[in-house]
Amino acid sequence: MDFKEEALKVKEDLIADIQTLCRIPSVLDPATAKEGQPFGQGCREALDCMLAFGRRDGFEVKDVDGYAGHIDIGEGDEVIGVLGHLDVVPVNAEGWIYPPFSCTLKDNILYGRGTSDDKGPTLAAYYAAKIIHDLKLPTKKKIRIIFGCDEESGSRCMKHYFSKEPYPQWAFTPDAGFPVCYGEKSGCGYTISGDCPEEGLLSFKAGQRVNIVPETAEAIVVGELSDFSDSFEAFKQKYGVGGSLEEKHGQVRITLIGKSAHASTPDLGKNAIVYLAQYLNEVIDHPVSRFIDDYFRDDNHARRLGFYFNGAMGEITCNVGIIDYEQGHVRIQLDLRCPHDMNFDDMQCCIVKAIKPMGWTEEHHIGPYLFVDPESELITTLHQAYVKYTHDDQAKPVTMGGGTYAKSMPNTCVAFGMEFPGSPNAIHENNEILRVDELMLGVAIYAEALYHLVK
């Protein structure tokens, strides 16, 4: 069966559905949250849209209290699942070639938030399952396309969904990269807070989500424009960052612009908090900027904090995702991705030691990790589907720092695509894209994998 040929037959319909879904700004919005739409109006609209696609195509659908939903395709007592998410990270409209929620198609590329993370891949998997159904291929198991609305903010959707619905036998989530990921690091979070004197720094704020390398940071300091203009310009040139200065009533607002990235791959970004703290530490003396500069400058792997580790899943990563300092009180949030075989007690001791001189306190959580035998039937089936349609037998199954819905199941779900090796799609960044050729290839790979899992 040539699923690539079958995928091309549904190309126009698939693109149209992706555009419809991606034009919904499904960002977490507590202000519009209520019963039946726990994550706000945009997420509710995206959920309704996906359910409507299933009804339109004649499948059974279910809404699980507005947290998540599913579409059932085919028959069978056993279920093979696909777990995708309909929520997206916030956007900064500046710097986008096209409006972020326009889902513009240009030169065979779809531009827009959610095209690659994760609305486009979720629909690619849905269309793959639909192809199997429409071709009336013999199957013994049901395919269930499950979609949640809170993956970017803690996956409360899947916790609720699986409290009401059974786990599939096996599943994958199209929310990472090919060829296939058999392990995910533990996601750990620290919130550091405390008081400190202002001493010339009136505020320091940045970050919307701790799982994103912040692109922009702002500080307000006491002084005049002339006190900072030359040094800030030199700093920007030296480190390849942007920014501006604005003076008002004896105060200067310093805005620094770095580069956003996902917290699991912080080396791909330029953390605006860390760079601004480094600059502030050069021109003023303040405990907040000094702490960040001392422990995070040029270091996304906890070396300065004292608990660097490189294990079976790779290196630990550390992202300073949020800072909120004003009126002498600071709150700093860290996102760490930790290999399962590191010493978590060492991490705790090192962070407590670092904040003790300031009298600050910390709260933390240590999340689960995922590990599926790389020789298992699930991994080999998915990997073989990838190799069949890409002819790439050099890319082997991997582990990663990113956390996905796979962790919501008991080591029976893995991340599988849809980003291809060497072809980044600016996920969590400005100008997120989905290349149509790769979209269609993804549909073929998913159809191949699903068919082998259900037949």
352-398 confidence digits (pLDDT tens): 999 999 999 999 999 999 999 999 999 999 999 999 999 999 999 99
Largest separation between any pair of C-alpha atoms in the chain: 75
Q: Span 103-114, mean pLDDT?
A: 98
Q: What is the mean pLDDT of the chain?
A: 97
Whether 448 is catalytic is no
Whether 87 is catalytic is yes
**CA 333 vs CA 192, 206, 421: distances in Å:** 6, 11, 31
Axis-axis angle for helices 436-454, 11-22 (nearest 10):
100
pLDDT tens-digit readout, 36-67: 999 999 999 999 999 999 999 999 999 999 99
Strands, E assignment, 196-316: 201-206, 212-213, 216-222, 242-248, 251-257, 261-262, 310-311, 314-315
Structure tokens at 341: 């075989």
Q: Which residue do the tokens 């599913």 mark? A: 70
Q: Span 85-98, mean pLDDT?
A: 94
Q: Which residue do the tokens 């502030």 mark? A: 280
State the pLDDT confidence band at 447, using cuts at 50, 70 and 90: very high
pLDDT tens-digit readout, 257-307: 999 998 999 999 999 999 999 999 999 999 999 999 999 999 999 999 999
| Amino acid at residue number 166 | P
> Does position 323 have pLDDT exceeding 90, yes or no?
yes
Strands, E assignment, 207-241: 212-213, 216-222
Structure tokens at 280: 């502030």
> Does position 312 have pLDDT exceeding 90, yes or no?
no
Structure tokens at 336: 């760490």
> Does position 148 have pLDDT exceeding 90, yes or no?
yes
State the pLDDT confidence band at 92, using cuts at 50, 70 and 90: confident
% residues pLDDT > 70 (the chain): 100
pLDDT at position 403, please?
Answer: 86
Q: Which residue do the tokens 């349609």 mark? A: 389
Q: Could you tell me the strand order of the sheet in which 317-326 lies?
A: 242-248, 251-257, 216-222, 201-206, 317-326, 329-338, 186-195, 361-366
Q: Span 316-338, mean pLDDT?
A: 97
pLDDT at position 96, please?
Answer: 97
Provide DSSP, 247-285: EETTEEEEEEE-B-EETTSGGGSB-HHHHHHHHHHHH--
> Does position 428 have pLDDT exceeding 90, yes or no?
no
Q: Could you tell me the strand order of the sheet in which 104-106 lies?
A: 104-106, 109-111, 433-435
Overall residue count recorded for the chain in this entry: 455
Which is catalytic among the residues 17, 72, 87, 429?
A: 87
The DSSP letter of residue 6 is H
> Does position 198 have pLDDT exceeding 90, yes or no?
no
The model's pTM is 0.79
pLDDT at position 93, please?
Answer: 87
CATH of 3-185+369-454, one of 3.40.630.10, 3.40.30.10, 3.40.50.360, 1.20.1250.20: 3.40.630.10
CB 275 within 8 A of CB 241: yes
> Does position 197 have pLDDT exceeding 90, yes or no?
no
Closest CA to 68 of 88, 94, 48: 48
3-class DSSP state for residue 118?
Answer: coil
User: Tell me, which fold does domain 187-366 have in CATH?
Assistant: Alpha-Beta Plaits (3.30.70)
Structure tokens at 169: 């036998």
Query: What are the residue ranges spanned by the domains of the chain?
Result: 3-185+369-454, 187-366
| Separation between Cα atoms, residue 43 and residue 59, nearest integer Å | 22
pLDDT at position 182, please?
Answer: 94
Structure tokens at 51: 């359910």
> Does position 434 have pLDDT exceeding 90, yes or no?
yes
The DSSP letter of residue 225 is G
pLDDT at position 121, please?
Answer: 99
